[in-house]
Chain A
Amino acid sequence: SQTIHQWPATLVQPVGSPLSLECTVEGTSNPNLYWYRQAAGRGLQLLFYSVGIGQISSEVPQNLSASRPQDRQFILSSKKLLLSDSGFYLCAWTRGSSYEQYFGPGTRLTVT
């Protein structure tokens, strides 16, 4: 069976510090991968998606970047965090042409 992991589960970082969140998927190959952000009391905002190694598409210009160094690994990064980067970050994956997305447990980021 397939599982998706995210870490860390929670993170408190000062403004201006770097960020690295990791997402890995097990039990499948060549998944489509997605990063979402969920701000408090708001819906999901798609940040990045990837259909293969090294292939990253950005949905909105922002202070964040993403990378996919391996088939089942998706990393969200920032060089300098802003207060507005606080939120709940969710990673998700799909199989090929399927539209059913499967979500990880999320990382709660607080920028102070």
Chain B
Amino acid sequence: GDSVTQMEGPVTLSEEAFLTINCTYTATGYPSLFWYVQYPGEGLQLLLKATKADDKGSNKGFEATYRKETTSFHLEKGSVQVSDSAVYFCALSDEARGSTLGRLYFGRGTQLTVWP
């Protein structure tokens, strides 16, 4: 079935360091891909998305490119800030015939801590 695999955390970086969080997926169709962010004690917020191959989603300095050939959607940011400390979730849409509209499959999440 459809699934998402994220790199294991936690990830600890110094401020202004480069960030990569790996995400690969398995899907039978052509899913849309998402990154969500969860700040401590809060719900999830949509960070960025890509709906088809080679699309690049971007928001708040974060980027991810939908790579169909490698089934990947890695999250990157050139210079992280302390305020980026959070848990990041990769997700894909369930596009299978007969599936529930709007269903998402989430990865297990990657904890990012940025030190000043």
Asked whether A7 is an interface residue with its Cβ less than 8 Å from the other chain, the reply is no
Q: Which of the four size classes fits the interface of chain A?
A: 20 to 34
From known contacts A32-B102, A97-B102, A98-B102, infer whether A105 and B42 are also in contact, taking CB-CB under 8 Å. Answer: yes
Interchain CB contact under 8 A, A102 and B46: yes
Interface size on B, residues (CB 8 A): 21
- A90–B106 CB distance below 8 A: no
Q: Report B-chain residues with C-beta under 8 Å of the C-beta of A104.
A: 43
In the bound complex, do residue B103 and residue A49 qualify as a contact, i.e. CB atoms below 8 Å apart? yes
A101 sits at the interface (CB 8 A): yes
B101–A100 CB distance below 8 A:
no
Closest 6 CB pairs of A and B: A94-B102, A103-B43, A43-B108, A99-B93, A103-B44, A44-B106
Q: What is the interface of chain B, defined by CB distance below 8 A to chain A? A: 32, 34, 36, 41-46, 49, 89, 93, 100-104, 106-109
Q: Which residues does A use to contact B, with CB under 8 Å?
A: 6, 32, 34, 42-44, 46, 49, 51, 57, 90, 92, 94-106, 108
